[in-house]
Amino acid sequence: MGIFKRFSDIISANLNDLTEGFEDPERMLRQAVREMEETITEVTNQTAKAMANEKTLSRELERNSTHRQQWQERAEKAVKSGDDDIARKALARKNEHEKLVTALEDQLETAKEASQNLRHQLAAMKAKLAEAKRNLATLSARKRAADFRKKIETQAAGMTPAADDDAFAKFDRMKAKVEQAEAEAAAMAELRGEEPCTAEVDSDIPEEDLDLSVELADLKKRLGK
């Protein structure tokens, strides 16, 4: 890409557009800033050369203008002295410098225009770079804030379920322990042969005799005895 193409691209760049649609807009903007700085360095060198060329042409124009005037004065002096041969030679030299002056004036005008355009574009690019750096600072601050919020929210989201799980797990463990203790107590009672209290009343009467007594009582009732 040519340097003048980069001038146009950077000066006309919309910095918001540069960051939209990218996964990492901060990185994109940093890259743009680096490219701007590199291009501005090139432009500064080009501008310095253009300004130096303008100064050189200006000095050369001034020197040839002085020589033109000097040879003009010599020709006039020779004419006054009646020395036409010297007057002709002086006029020839004056004409040489006249041609150089005309050419240098055109070159200097072009050099001034180029130098001025470069200075204007350099100023515009520096302004755009300053804008990009401000945007980068703002974007970086926003990104840091967003990352911090995301970290806090992620930690909060990660901690809450874990805390709840711990609470329920503790409850389940306690419940299991209680149930296990109850089951063990019942098993020990069964092993000791413990029976309900109601069984103790007739513990000394055989089961077979109890059945006969009931049957006998029923029979007596039917017979009215």
Q: What angle do CA 67, 70, 72 make, to 5 degrees?
A: 110
Q: Is the dihedral of CA 53, 59, 63, 64 positive or negative?
A: positive
| Residue 9 shares a structural domain with residue 103 | yes
Distances (CA, A) of 18 to 7, 33, 81, 166, 196: 16, 11, 77, 48, 87
Distance, CA of 47 to CA of 42 (rounded, Å): 9
Using alpha carbons, select from 5, 8, 43 the residue that is nearest to residue 119: 43
| Residue 196 shares a structural domain with residue 108 | no
Tokens of 52: 């130096």
| Residue 122 shares a structural domain with residue 90 | yes
| Residue 83 shares a structural domain with residue 185 | no
Which residue, of 163, 181, 201, is where some domain finishes? Answer: 163
| Residue 155 shares a structural domain with residue 135 | yes
Distance, CA of 175 to CA of 173 (rounded, Å): 5
| Residue 130 shares a structural domain with residue 31 | yes
Query: Residue 197 pLDDT more than 50?
Result: no
| Residue 176 shares a structural domain with residue 132 | no
Residue numbers of the domain that contains 116 = 3-163
Which residue, of 117, 139, 163, is where some domain finishes? Answer: 163
Average pLDDT, the chain: 76
Which residue, of 129, 163, 197, is where some domain finishes? Answer: 163
| Residue 31 shares a structural domain with residue 14 | yes
| Residue 176 shares a structural domain with residue 159 | no
- pLDDT for 40-50, tens place per residue? 999 899 999 99
**Predicted structure pTM score:** 0.53
pLDDT given for residue 1 in this prediction: 44
- pLDDT for 168-190, tens place per residue? 566 566 667 767 777 777 777 77
| Residue 44 shares a structural domain with residue 145 | yes
Distances (CA, A) of 4 to 31, 37, 125, 166: 19, 15, 12, 66
Per-residue confidence at 161, pLDDT binned at 50, 70, 90?
Answer: very low
| Residue 147 shares a structural domain with residue 181 | no
Looking at this protein, which amino acid is placed at residue 97? Answer: H
- pLDDT for 86-138, tens place per residue? 999 999 999 999 999 999 999 999 999 999 999 998 998 898 888 888 888 88
- The DSSP output letter for 80 is H
| Residue 30 shares a structural domain with residue 46 | yes
Looking at this protein, which amino acid is placed at residue 214? Answer: V
CB-based contacts of 35, cutoff 8 Å, min separation 6: 6, 10
Number of domains comprising the chain = 2
Rounded to the nearest 10°, the torsion over CA 52, 57, 59, 61 is -170
Q: How far is CA 157 from the centre of its chain?
A: 25
